[in-house]
Amino acid sequence: MGASSTATATTPSSTLSPSILKRILLSYTYVAIWIFLSFTVIVYNKYILDRKMYNWPYPISLTLIHMGFCSSIAILLVRIFQVVDLPSSMSPRLYLSSVVPIGALYSLSLWLSNSAYIYLSVSFIQMLKALMPVAVYSIGVLFRKDSFKSSTMANMLTISFGVAVAAYGEAKFDTWGVFLQLGAVAFEATRLVLIQILLTSKGINLNPITSLYYVAPCCFLFLLIPWVTVELPSLKENSSFHFDYFIFGTNSFCAFALNLAVFLLVGKTSALTMNVAGVVKDWLLIAFSWSVIKDTVTPVNLFGYGLAFLGVAYYNHSKLQGLREREAQRRAEEADDEESGRLLGQREGDGTTRRNESQG
């Protein structure tokens, strides 16, 4: 009897409540949507740019189409349909000093990363992207947004070593392609750090729609300069090309949807969740690149990326531990403040009681 009653009593506590279960399912749904869209955009861009597939090797033009599409949709959503409100603190001076540099870095990052798909395999590009935490941390230390820690730097060196081993084992290594991808990583890391310095520190938080509203037109204008000088003459000579509205329309829509998915994932979960999901996405892309696109993935590739993966996993784990420690410290401080307020209120109440008794 006693055992059965105890089991009955503990059964409800071992089951998840509907609200918690719903939250978990939604989190996994957001992760799945982001992985799917990110996966789709990467493979779609590779398909368009690769000379052996769709054979349209114009990365600036492709990025220009994306930015033009995103700018148009963002302006419609903000100005016509008024889906979101613009931050009142965004002045012309702040736009020029903060948004324009971020837009310039974003255009360079997109240009170089799309260019790399012409020279490198999808799998190897994902391996090189493992250097992103190294770049973000190094630039953060340089701009004094992060404090230098020998343990963190040792972890960064482990990631770098793993990527170097993966590069050594790459069957179709292309120096120019690696240079383009590393440049894209450097520009993107600098952009992420500058967002913290120029916008977040000033209390300006932009969601993807307002981000695209401000940044996409800026990127479009920046990309026009190299496009006119580098790719436009070649496009004029290529008279056989006819603009495929279905291919470029669906590709641009996927790129726009990916920006919204980033907001959905980070807003409903956390940036750390996106980092962890990014590791899963990279492994899926490597498997897809090897099995479907038939890119060569060597054992040395996998060993090197495995080392880098362990370093990135440890880095994400350290960040999670840091977030938990800060959250615990914040709760402890709130509890201390509540306790201090309670004691102060009790003392004031005791003093009032004594004064009433003396007057009586």
Instruction: Give pLDDT tens digits for 238-250.
Output: 767 788 999 999 9
- Tell whether 14 is covered by a domain: no
- Tell whether 260 is covered by a domain: no
Is pLDDT of 54 > 70?
Answer: yes
In sequence order, which residues have a C-beta less than 8 Å from that of residue 37 and are 6 or more positions away? Answer: 254, 257, 258, 261
Question: Which residue would you say has higher pLDDT here, 28 or 41?
Answer: 41
Is pLDDT of 341 > 70?
Answer: no
C-alpha span between 307 and 302 (Å, rounded): 9
Is pLDDT of 346 > 90?
Answer: no
- Tell whether 360 is covered by a domain: no
Question: Which residue would you say has higher pLDDT here, 323 or 45?
Answer: 45
Q: Are 44 and 251 in contact (CB under 8 A)?
A: yes
In sequence order, which residues have a C-beta less than 8 Å from that of residue 278 and are 6 or more positions away? Answer: 38
Is pLDDT of 333 > 80?
Answer: no
Q: Are 304 and 169 in contact (CB under 8 A)?
A: yes
Range of the domain at 205: 87-236+270-335
Provide the pLDDT for residue 271: 64
Lowest-confidence segment of 76-90, 259-273, 297-311 by average pLDDT: 259-273
Is pLDDT of 208 > 50?
Answer: yes
Question: Which residue would you say has higher pLDDT here, 223 or 272?
Answer: 223
Provide the pLDDT for residue 10: 45
Confidence of residue 165 (pLDDT cuts 50, 70, 90): very high
Is pLDDT of 355 > 90?
Answer: no
C-alpha span between 282 and 23 (Å, rounded): 25
The residue-averaged pLDDT of 220-245 equals: 88
**Residue where the block lists tokens 């009955």:** 8
Is pLDDT of 253 > 90?
Answer: yes
In sequence order, which residues have a C-beta less than 8 Å from that of residue 54 and are 6 or more positions away? Answer: 47, 48, 247
- Tell whether 19 is covered by a domain: no
Rg (C-alpha) for the chain, rounded Å, is 26
- Tell whether 249 is covered by a domain: no
* Domains in the chain, number: 1
Is pLDDT of 170 > 50?
Answer: yes
- Tell whether 295 is covered by a domain: yes
- Tell whether 45 is covered by a domain: no
- Tell whether 9 is covered by a domain: no
Q: Are 87 and 204 in contact (CB under 8 A)?
A: yes
